[in-house]
Amino acid sequence: MMNIKRLAVFSKSVRFEKRLLTARHAKIRELEVQRRSFKTQSRTLAYAKDLFLGQINKTEVFPYPEIGNEELEEINQLVAPVEKFFNEEVDSAKIDHEAKIPAETLNGLKELGLFGIMIPEEFGGLGLSNTMYARLAEIISLDGSIAVTLAAHQAIGLKGILIAGSEAQKQKYLPKLASGEHIAAFCLTEPGSGSDAASIQTRATLSEDRKHFLLNGTKIWISNGGFADIMTVFARTEVTVDGVKKDKISAFIVERAFGGITSGKPEDKLGIRGSNTCEVSFDNAPVPVENVLGEIGGGFKIAMNILNSGRFSMGSSSAGMIKKLIELTSEYAATRKQFNKSLSEFGMIQEKFAVMALNAFVMESMAYLTAGMMDRPGLADSSVEAAMVKVFSSEGGWICVSEALQVLGGLGYTKNYPYERYVRDCRILPIFEGTNEILRMYIALTGMQYAGKVLTAQIKEMKKGNIGLALGMMGKKLKSSFGVSVDLGLIGKDGVVHPSLAESAKKLEQNVSLFGSTVESLLYRFGKTIVDEQLILKRVADLVINLYAMTAVLSRASRSISIGLRNHDYEVLLANTFCAEAFFKNNYKMTQLQKHSPENNDANMKKIAKALLENRAYICSHPLERTY
């Protein structure tokens, strides 16, 4: 199935197709009308889906995506001034302290074109691909507040216009948004609605002259909500489907100039304090009918696509931040002396740096692999991969930032150093753009849905008692338990992994194959009721994230060796280390997923939580309590 978002990406990366653009758009819209409901499998999933079947779709991820020399030059030319700007002009401490990004900084960002990174050149943007966007995000992330402000503007705020806007809407809004004259915001969350679209209360009612929609309701936690000029707002509208009146979500482009819009007081936050987050209320705000994004009642898909497409850049952002932190802390570790030894000679400090390097390496690998997949012409859906990048990098980022602070000890805890700010800023990562819990559900369930479709017939056959099939399964299991190595074609004759990474590739293959049978047995055991087994799904998601990370590092390191990048031996070391560690973690998790596994404490954990949730308090007696 065609998809507007893919097409947008497609159009950006493949410039020469610009002429076809308008024609395509029209066609897409036709297709979209036919498609009533969103289904996760409506587009072909890219890579992760095959992992759930115990297969590696190596054409998707090998070789590691590259950009052309021209593009590389272009991006390097872009990166240099941005880097300079962030190092010299941006005073992060001041932004954090005053909870405001100064106007001159914003102007500097506008001049650099950072407000229109992904807007096509014809509309005055930089027209960069996802890969190049990821590269810029590495630098932008040096200041959390600016990164969030820019992301709210273009990763979600104006994305709706990019992927679902009509030509007229694009012409009207994109140029000013690209220049930064107008700033965009994305208004979806409401006091009573996070992921639950059914509880969205904001309502758009058609005025009597049928020329306007009147918007009423309140949206909360709107990044840039205080000063955004253009907002993508989602609201309930009445639609007639098959003669029955129904409420459906629609998306609107709302200008602040339309009137009836008030912004609340900016929220005082733990981190990213310079970014503006506030409540936005609509009181009979008139929105012209031509400002409806896509179809009336088609807002759900638009929201979902916007959310799914914005996540991949967090990997490179986190990696950029960690790389910066490594520079800062290694300086300290090398100069600080204790017992006539510098800190860098202590094993426990060294370990922290190794953790940081590993995390940065894996995040980078995953982020650019995913960005490359998204840039590839074609309509594959890599939203699962993007979600995996987001989960991995937000959690890895948190660990690294806190380890970096730990290297400095008490100094890191003071406001004299930027580490505490990084820790605070970093804490938002697992929360926004879909909390990691929800993304884990998305990752696991999307994969399960795919595997379920493929395996249903086979499992049903097995349940009926097809002995041949059962024996075949048994044989497969026996074979793997006797240590017969699995060959999924990563190495060997048609191998894609460099021989110096052969061992790690074997580990990945073994893990993937075991994961396939784990998924199968989970489907056998739980069927579609697996939706309710959140702890199992969490493990499944963690597993598949690890598998994807392993793939990414193997692919990247293989390429590095093959083309002889500087320090590629170090990359091999990192890749092997990460794979070895992930291998054991995966094996443990898969053991936990077995039936009646003693490693699995889920039932107890649930009981523990249930008891205290019933009482809404910690219910143990105090240790000093007596009964006689």
Residues acting as catalytic residues: 433
Applying CB under 8 A, among 70, 104, 196, 242 the residue interacting with another protein is 196
- From the list 37-45, 163-171, 400-408, 566-574, the region that binds another protein by CB under 8 A is 37-45
Q: Is 453 in the site for another protein (CB under 8 A)?
A: yes
**Total interface residues for another protein by CB under 8 A:** 45
Applying CB under 8 A, among 54, 271, 294, 434 the residue interacting with another protein is 434
Nearer to another protein, 22 or 195 (CB): 195
Other C-beta atoms within 10 Å of 377: how many? 11
C-alpha pair distances (Å), 300 with each of 169, 232, 233, 448, 621:
19, 13, 11, 22, 49
Applying CB under 8 A, among 187, 307, 400, 508 the residue interacting with another protein is 307
Applying CB under 8 A, among 59, 77, 338, 627 the residue interacting with another protein is 627
The residue type of 174 is L
Nearest to 134 by CA among 112, 113, 151: 151
Q: Is 448 in the site for another protein (CB under 8 A)?
A: yes
Q: Shortest distance, CB of residue 549 to another protein, whole angstroms?
A: 21
Cα(37)–Cα(298) distance, integer angstroms: 9
Nearer to another protein, 195 or 350 (CB): 195
The DSSP 8-state label assigned to residue 429 in this structure reads T
C-alpha pair distances (Å), 246 with each of 32, 33, 156, 249, 490:
19, 17, 27, 10, 51
Q: Is 456 in the site for another protein (CB under 8 A)?
A: yes
Residue 285: strand, helix, or coil: strand
Nearer to another protein, 195 or 335 (CB): 195
Cα(236)–Cα(37) distance, integer angstroms: 16
Site string for another protein, 504-533 (x = CB under 8 A): -------------------xxxxxxxxx--
Applying CB under 8 A, among 164, 441, 543, 593 the residue interacting with another protein is 441
- From the list 11-19, 116-124, 335-343, 458-466, the region that binds another protein by CB under 8 A is 458-466
Q: Report the DSSP beta bridge partners of residue 231.
A: 185, 254
Contact (Cβ atoms closer than 8 angstroms) between residue 126 and residue 119: yes
Q: Which two tokens stand for residue 250?
A: 């629609």
Q: Is 606 in the site for another protein (CB under 8 A)?
A: no
Q: Shortest distance, CB of residue 248 to another protein, whole angstroms?
A: 7
Contact (Cβ atoms closer than 8 angstroms) between residue 14 and residue 20: no
DSSP element (H, E) containing 221: strand 212-223
Q: Is 442 in the site for another protein (CB under 8 A)?
A: yes
Nearer to another protein, 43 or 248 (CB): 248
Cα(10)–Cα(378) distance, integer angstroms: 7
Q: Is 198 in the site for another protein (CB under 8 A)?
A: yes
DSSP element (H, E) containing 370: helix 347-375
Q: Is 337 in the site for another protein (CB under 8 A)?
A: no
Q: Which two tokens stand for residue 311?
A: 């996540």
User: Binders of another protein among 342-401, rule CB under 8 A?
Assistant: none
Q: Is 452 in the site for another protein (CB under 8 A)?
A: yes
Residue 382: strand, helix, or coil: coil
Q: Is 328 in the site for another protein (CB under 8 A)?
A: no
Q: Is 473 in the site for another protein (CB under 8 A)?
A: no
Q: Is 14 in the site for another protein (CB under 8 A)?
A: no
Q: Which two tokens stand for residue 331?
A: 């300086």
Cα(311)–Cα(431) distance, integer angstroms: 12
- Residues of this chain that bind another protein (CB under 8 A): 37-41, 188, 195-198, 248-249, 300, 303-304, 307, 434, 438-439, 441-442, 445-446, 448-449, 452-453, 456, 459-460, 463, 523-531, 595, 616, 621, 627-628
